[in-house]
Amino acid sequence: MENKQAPVITIDGPAGSGKGTIAALLAKQLGWFLLDSGAIYRVAAHAALEAKLDLEDETALVNLIQSLAMRFTDGKVWRNHQEVSLAIRTPVVADATSRISTLPAVRAALIDQQRAFRQAPGLVADGRDMGTVVFPDAKLKVFLTASPEIRAQRRLKQLSEQGIYANIAALIREIKERDERDSNRPIAPLRPADDALIIDSSQLSPEEVLSLILQSY
């Protein structure tokens, strides 16, 4: 159950901006809980693909989501007792995630699960609409960005480390297409909160980004 008294720091931004890395570092530094909201959407998308659902069928997707038990322990992601940490990180799942996340019923079905992560001593929430929709009362809201080329290079490195082949040109194209889709969706579009601290991480190390956030906290 959500503890509305527990402080929250939100870190939003597009894929490859470094928000996941920064959120994990910040949560460890503060000793707070961590919410990777993108992983929640990815788990749902992965389950939908496995079930061969129509990714535009909101009723079927919501019914599926309500049957899912998700948990995150020791850096691993579990769905109904199945570890899916690597399975949810493929480009196919990323594309499916972007598609289902535009559906209002899907977002509504997942929002309570995200808010349930809010508990003492505090929460660092990483996503795309954490500061604008899920935790609008957050103590500090951060919006990370970086150029599509830098983000594609980071994604290529991440996939390579997982043994997954990818083409840099295709990654840049996919990132731009996803940015366009996420920024223009009618429900919870990707954008900074009005009071967000905006940081371009293109030429910054994770430690430098973390320092900027801690200075603002």
- C-alpha 118/C-alpha 34 separation (Å) is 9
19 annotated ligand binder:
yes
122 annotated ligand binder:
no
75 annotated ligand binder:
no
- C-alpha 27/C-alpha 124 separation (Å) is 6
52 annotated ligand binder:
no
Residue 53's Cβ-count burial label (10 Å; 0-12, 13-18, 19+) is middle
Enclosing H/E stretch for 8: strand 8-12
31 annotated ligand binder:
no
DSSP string, 149-213: HHHHHHHHHHHHHTT----HHHHHHHHHHHHHHHHH-SSS-S---TT-EEEE-TT--HHHHHHHH
Coil, helix or strand at residue 106: helix
21 annotated ligand binder:
yes
20 annotated ligand binder:
yes
Residue whose structure tokens are 């894929």 = 15
- Name the E strands within 52-121: 70-73, 76-79, 82-83
In total, the chain counts a number of residues equal to 217
- Per the annotation, binding residues are 13-21
- Per the annotation, binding residues for ATP are 13-21
